[in-house]
Amino acid sequence: MRNFRLDIRPSSPAVGAEILGVDLSGPLSTEETSEIREALKEYGVIFFRDQELTPEQHIAFAERFGPININRFFQSVSGHPQIAEVRKELDQTTNIGGSWHTDHSYDEAPALGSILLARDVPEHGGDTMFASMHRAYEALSDGLKRTLENLRAVHSSRHVFGAAARYAKDTAGRIGNAELATQDAVHPVVIRHPETGRKTLYVNAAFTIRFEDWTEKESKPLLDYLYAHAAQPQFHMRFRWRKGSIAFWDNRATWHFAINDYHGERRLMHRITLEGVPLA
């Protein structure tokens, strides 16, 4: 048996790497799967190019890394409830994921990661930004680190996907099931990553609403500081999509931001989300 080694090219000093020369349409060896898993741990998000996958192959690849979460808000691909559509049509102005966030932080066991496959992309624009929350945490002062390690934060889906939410109205036909937007979860503000053990900042502007036992008004100044801190360019990288590109990111280690700069063009992505574990 050959000693398999992936061709891994880091995307930036902070986060991300592209993996070359791997065809994900067929079965992966145990060694290949292990190396992809290790690359995800090390870089937070990994990228593949020119992957012409059927929905069945997309699902088979994802299942190598864990059970699939059936998304309760996104419209799914016909016949494949495991795959959520991330779609923006020519006449739509609001995109999905157009602010810094991490998926499913409102769940008691937040998603391990997401595997996004580009089906139809605009000629220009529609890039996605990624940020390392481990690097963002490391750059905080020792005093603020000590303060944050004693805090827990409340995350919610209600204000984003609920019936009264503006976002739910602006994405009607793509986002639904507002009656299921009842999830609230409490997580440590600083987590130890379940697999790497690295300390990581775990709040995000989309779903974190306040610190536990604090009011929203009391929480806002510190949360706003943390969001501005983590949004600094030194923690980022930018990925330009092509048809057949895949991004596989760790939701416990990164933020992402889908840039909405392609009005009048269509963008269709297929996303599979992997089940995670409670955070400590």
What are the residue numbers of the active site?
A: 101, 103, 256, 271
**Which stretches does DSSP call E strand in 148-198?**
152-156, 184-188, 190-192
113: three-class secondary structure by DSSP: strand
CA–CA gap between residue 148 and residue 192 (Å, rounded): 13
**Phi/psi of residue 245, nearest 5 degrees:** -75, 150
Are 204 and 81 a contacting pair, CB within 8 Å? Answer: no
Residues facing residue 254 across a β-bridge: 132
Find the angle CA(65)-CA(88)-CA(263) to the nearest 5 degrees: 130
> Is there a contact between 43 and 72 (Cβ–Cβ < 8 Å)?
no
- Residue ranges of alpha helices (H) inside the chain are 30-43, 55-63, 133-138, 142-148, 158-161, 166-170, 216-230
Contact 152, 211 (CB under 8 A): yes
* Residue 198: C-alpha distances to residues 165, 166, 217, 222 (Å): 34, 36, 30, 22
- The Cα-based distances of 2 to 21, 29, 132, 264 in angstroms read 16, 11, 33, 49
